[in-house]
Amino acid sequence: MAEPYLSASAMRGGYGKADILNGCTLTVDQGQIAVIVGPNGAGKSTAMKAVFGMLNLREGAVKLGGEDITRLTPQERVHKGMGFVPQTHNIFPTMTVEENLEMGAFIRTDDYRETIEQVYHLFPAVADKRKQNAGELSGGQRQQVAVGRALMTKPRLLMLDEPTAGVSPIVMDELFDRIIEVARTGISILMVEQNARQALEIADIGYVLVQGANRYTDSGKALMADPEVRRTFLGG
Ligand SMILES: Nc1ncnc2c1ncn2[C@@H]1O[C@H](COP(=O)(O)OP(=O)(O)OP(=O)(O)O)[C@@H](O)[C@H]1O
Ligand SMILES: [Mg+2]
């Protein structure tokens, strides 16, 4: 069997002495959508930070496309093909939408105009506001800017920490549709979601994380069908 595109295995580590991640493992194949769900404080954002290199791991390894990148900085990981949208502070509110996208292209030395156009094509609402400050946009539009910004480096793996936080159900569905569209182009998606049911619906693989460890791992459909998972994590 081919190796998964992202393989983050047995990650252990935290912010101080106590570990937040207790052997967490996450893998994503090329073009797959992987979804992490779990209670508040389970370590979902911490796991994302660890995959992106923002956390020193005490144990475990992160491999991308077969290459061990465990020791690389976040910026080096961007060069290797990772894009990350953090849970908070994921846009520059006092810069225009277009400037936000340009900032996203910071590592590019080639012409990124075409990528900006692709982002506008993906998110027409954002295109309409390109000259406005990002801070003036609605919650859903801001999240689109944040995702667009991450797409500017043409990542092979797009990591999204709660992309639908604070948006209405309709905007959430819309955003999920766009994420599916991105995955269909061959980009792998690793996403944390509070809207667990809706996210598992579109997940090729789902992870239920509890106290920094994998509690359940299965296809999104199988997790949704598991009575124990439903009762404990999906509200029945
Ligand atoms: N920068 C930090 N410094 C110290 N502790 C932190 C830091 N960030 C998070 N923690 C702690 O790590 C634990 C896991 O937090 P994390 O943000 O990863 O959870 P989460 O699963 O993403 O939760 P949520 O669903 O609320 O976003 C929590 O106990 C939190 O207090
Ligand atoms: Mg979080």
Label the pairing between strands 33-37 and 188-192.
parallel
Question: Residue 54 pLDDT > 80, yes or no?
Answer: yes
Helix (H, G, I), strand (E, B) or coil at 208: strand
Closest residue to atom 30 of ligand 1, CA basis: 41
Start-to-end CA span in the chain (Å)? 36
Residues at Cβ < 5 Å from ligand 2 ion: 44-45, 87
Predicted local distance difference test score (pLDDT) of residue 127 = 97
Q: Whose CA is nearest to atom 29 of ligand 1?
A: 41
Residue 153 contacts residue 108 (beta carbons within 8 Å): yes
- Type and span of the H or E element at 60: strand 59-64
Q: Would the pLDDT of 112 be above 90?
A: yes
Q: What is the position in ligand 1's atom list of the atom closest to the CA of 47?
A: 18
Question: Quick one: DSSP state of residue 3?
Answer: P
Residue nearest to atom 5 of ligand 1 (CA): 15
The reported pLDDT for the residue numbered 236 is 76
pLDDT in tens, 207-226: 999 999 999 999 999 999 99
160 pLDDT band (50/70/90 cuts)? very high
What is the overall mean pLDDT for the chain?
Answer: 96
The phi and psi torsions of 132 (rounded to 5 degrees) equal -90, 155
Q: Which of 44, 159, 190, 193 to mutate to test the pocket of ligand 1 (most atoms within 8 A of CB)?
A: 44
CB under 6 Å to ligand 1: residues?
15, 20, 38, 40-46, 87
Residue 235: pLDDT over 90? no
- Rounded CA-CA distance 166/179 in Å is 17
- Asked if residue 192 lies in contact with residue 48, where contact means CB atoms within 8 angstroms, the answer is yes
Give the per-residue pLDDT at 43.
98
Pocket test for ligand 1, best of 20, 37, 207 (most atoms within 8 A of CB): 20
DSSP structural state of residue 152? T
Write down the number of H helices and E strands in the chain. Answer: 10, 10
More confident residue, 234 or 47: 47
pLDDT in tens, 131-151: 999 999 999 999 999 999 999
Q: Is the dihedral of CA 156, 146, 211, 208 positive or negative?
A: negative
Instruction: Specify the DSSP element, H or E, that contains 85.
Output: strand 82-85
Report how far residue 97's alpha carbon sits from residue 236's, in angstroms, rounded to the nearest whole number.
40
Largest Cα–Cα distance in the chain? 51
Confidence category of residue 66, pLDDT binned at 50, 70, 90: very high
This prediction's pTM: 0.96
Looking at the CA of 22, which ligand is closest?
1
Q: Which amino acid residue places its CA nearest to atom 2 of ligand 1?
A: 15
State pLDDT tens for residues 179-201: 999 999 999 999 999 999 999 99
Ligand located closest to 36 CA: 1
* 3-class secondary structure, 183: helix
In the structure, what pLDDT confidence band is assigned to residue 1 with cuts at 50, 70 and 90? low
**Secondary structure letter of residue 29 according to DSSP:** -
Looking at the chain, the whole-number percentage of residues with pLDDT higher than 90 is 96
Q: What is the DSSP letter of 134?
A: G
Once rounded to an integer, what is the mean pLDDT over residues 98-102? 98
